[in-house]
Amino acid sequence: MSGNSIQGDFFQNVYRLVRMIPPGKVATYGQIAAFLAAPGAARTVGYALNALKTNPVLPPVPWQRVINSRGGISLPPGEGFEIQRDLLAEEGVMPDDNGIYDLDEYIWDGKP
DNA sequence: ACCTTGACAGAAT
DNA sequence: AATTCTGCCAAGG
């Protein structure tokens, strides 16, 4: 086969895993990395999701369900912060007054 | 081929 | 408690 391998398999694994996060739930970058047997590669997970901006894949990846370990959106204002916040709100995921999401309530347990 | 950067995380100071 | 530093993987210059 040729012409395949868009990016590293890591990216594809990230996308596949993120697609498994159900609406109304969220996961952290580190959690995704841990699931991929690559703890510490949280940055790479963020890099993979960032690549979606210029290189979207099908089926769509619900990247908005991935936040950082502090329960906050890592995107800078004007670069998707508001979009992610809005998309999550539509799924019923609401932050507190400090813009922090309650991980104890919204975290995806990884179980179907 | 080397160095820097990047939607992070956690330990160390 | 806040800031700094290092680890991790991939892509760009």
Calculate the angstrom distance between C1' of C12 and CA of A33. 23
Mean pLDDT rounded to a whole number for chain A: 91
Is residue A85 over pLDDT 60? yes
Beta-carbon contacts of A14 under 8 Å, excluding residues fewer than 6 positions away, are A32, A36, A44, A45, A48, A49
Residue at shortest CA–C1' distance from C8:
A41
∠ CA A76-A77-A78, nearest 5°, is: 110
Tell the residue number behind the tokens 């992610």, with chain if given. A84
∠ CA A59-A64-A69, nearest 5°, is: 130
Is residue A110 over pLDDT 90? no
Q: What is the DSSP letter of A33?
A: H
Q: Which nucleotides of B are covered by protein (CB under 7 A)?
A: 6-10
Nearest nucleic acid nucleotide to A44, CA to C1' distance: C9
Can you give the pTM of this predicted structure? 0.92
For residue A3, what pLDDT band results from cuts at 50, 70 and 90?
Answer: very low
CA distance A80 to A99: 14
Is residue A4 over pLDDT 70? no
